[in-house]
């Protein structure tokens, strides 16, 4: 899952990135309105954490831009402004949640998890796809009730597919989802092929279905048959 942190406080941003990265999220950071605008134009994110007060603009404008382009990203405002009016304004323009500074990183993590569950999986703690069960809280995957050992990238790829069943996903979209700003690492797409091959092999070894279909010249589809 990709998260963008729009925050100009360097120490706070570093703390958030360190904590959420340990929870298995891929985190990117924008410390200004300009940089945030560039990132949301170039990339898609599962969740965006937005501070209201930025050195060169307002986080409110960032949210408004996201809504104009009909972004499906979840949005959590993180702000030192804790008046009821500020919270109402933030939620009315399209934010999903509002967290007042200072906050515990564990609470932020819980809110991020809750938001992603609501948006992607109807609030369920358990994600089911035929014989595949995913428990996002534990980052655990089982097939026919037996645990399957996946690397971080394989897990992220499986979750991405299950979030988009029967939808053709381009190689470029997969690269962006897995590497974000560092997608140049996958320029040749060799990394993607390797992760797909390994994920398919591990699912089949557990007697799971061969759900990954290659759409030649376009990308891949995780199909229910």
Check residue 209 and give its pLDDT: 93
Percent of all residues in the chain with a pLDDT value above 70, rounded to a whole number = 93
Task: Check whether residue 136 and residue 87 sit in a common domain.
Answer: no
| Cα–Cα dist 155/61, whole Å | 34
pLDDT value at position 9?
Answer: 94
Structure-block tokens of residue 105: 């990183």
Least confident of 85-89, 112-116, 178-182: 178-182
Give the H or E element holding residue 199: helix 190-205
Over residues 6-51, the pLDDT tens digits come to 999 999 999 999 999 888 788 999 999 999 999 998 888 889 999 9
Last residue of a domain, one of 121, 148, 164: 121
Could you give the CA distance from residue 211 to residue 4 in angstroms, rounded to a whole number? 30
Residues 95 and 88: their CA atoms lie apart, in Å, by 10
- Dihedral sign from CA coordinates of 48, 52, 58, 60: positive
117 and 143 share a domain?
Answer: no
Q: Provide the pLDDT for residue 180.
A: 66
- The pLDDT score that the predictor gives to residue 124 is 64
113 with 33, same domain?
A: yes
Mean pLDDT of the chain: 87
Residue 195 contacts residue 154 (beta carbons within 8 Å):
yes
User: Which residues, listed in sequence order, are joined to residue 53 by a DSSP beta bridge?
Assistant: 58
14-18, 104-108, 140-144, 178-182: least confidently modelled range: 178-182
**Would the pLDDT of 223 be above 70?**
yes
Last residue of a domain, one of 98, 121, 144: 121
The encoded tokens of residue 141 equal 């995957």
Beta strands (DSSP E) in 41-126 are 47-50, 53-54, 57-58, 74-79, 97-100
pLDDT at 186 over 60: no
Lowest mean pLDDT among 18-32, 120-134, 192-206: 120-134
Looking at the chain, which runs of residues are DSSP E strands?
2-6, 26-30, 47-50, 53-54, 57-58, 74-79, 97-100, 127-129, 132-135, 140-143, 146-147, 169-170, 212-215, 219-222
- Distance from the Cα of residue 65 to its chain's centroid: 19
Q: How far apart are CA 197 and CA 178, in angstroms?
A: 15
Peptide bond into 102 cis (omega under 30): yes
Same domain, 64 and 135: no
Q: Based on the structure, what is the number of domains in the chain?
A: 2
pTM attached to this predicted model: 0.68
Which domain covers residue 51, as residue numbers? 2-121
Q: What average pLDDT does the segment 154-182 reach? A: 82
Determine the average pLDDT of the residues in 106-122: 82
Mean pLDDT to the nearest integer, 60-73: 89
Over pLDDT 90: what percentage of the chain? 46
Q: Which CATH number fits the domain that encloses residue 157?
A: 1.10.10.10
**60 and 137 share a domain?**
no
Return phi, psi of residue 158, to 5°.
Answer: -60, -45
- Token pair recorded at residue 171: 């190689």
Asked if residue 122 has pLDDT above 70, the reply is no
For residue 191, with 0-12 CB atoms within 10 Å meaning exposed, 13-18 middle and 19 or more buried, which class applies? middle
CATH code, domain carrying 11: 3.40.50.2300
C-alpha–C-alpha distance, residues 174 and 199, integer Å: 14
């Amino acid at each position: 899952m990709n998260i963008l942190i729009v925050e100009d406080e360097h120490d706070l941003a570093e703390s958030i990135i360190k904590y959420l990265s340990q929870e298995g999220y891929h985190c990117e950071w924008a410390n200004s309105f300009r940089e945030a605008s560039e990132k949301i134009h170039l990339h898609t994110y599962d969740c965006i954490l937005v501070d209201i007060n930025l050195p060169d603009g307002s986080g409110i404008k960032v949210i408004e831009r996201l809504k104009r382009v009909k972004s499906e990203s979840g949005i959590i405002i993180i702000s030192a402004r804790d008046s009821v009016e500020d919270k109402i304004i933030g939620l009315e323009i399209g934010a999903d949640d509002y967290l007042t500074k200072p906050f515990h990183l564990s609470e932020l993590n819980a809110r991020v998890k809750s938001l992603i569950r609501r948006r992607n999986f109807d609030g369920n703690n358990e994600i089911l796809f035929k014989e595949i069960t995913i428990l996002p809280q534990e980052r655990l995957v089982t097939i026919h009730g037996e645990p399957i050992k996946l690397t971080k990238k394989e897990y992220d790829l499986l979750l991405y597919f299950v979030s988009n069943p029967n939808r053709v996903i381009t190689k470029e979209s997969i690269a962006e989802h897995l590497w974000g700003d560092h997608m140049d690492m996958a320029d040749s797409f060799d990394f993607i092929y390797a992760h797909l091959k390994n994920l398919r092999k591990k699912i089949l070894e557990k007697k799971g279905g061969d759900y990954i279909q290659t759409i030649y010249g376009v990308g891949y589809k995780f199909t229910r048959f």
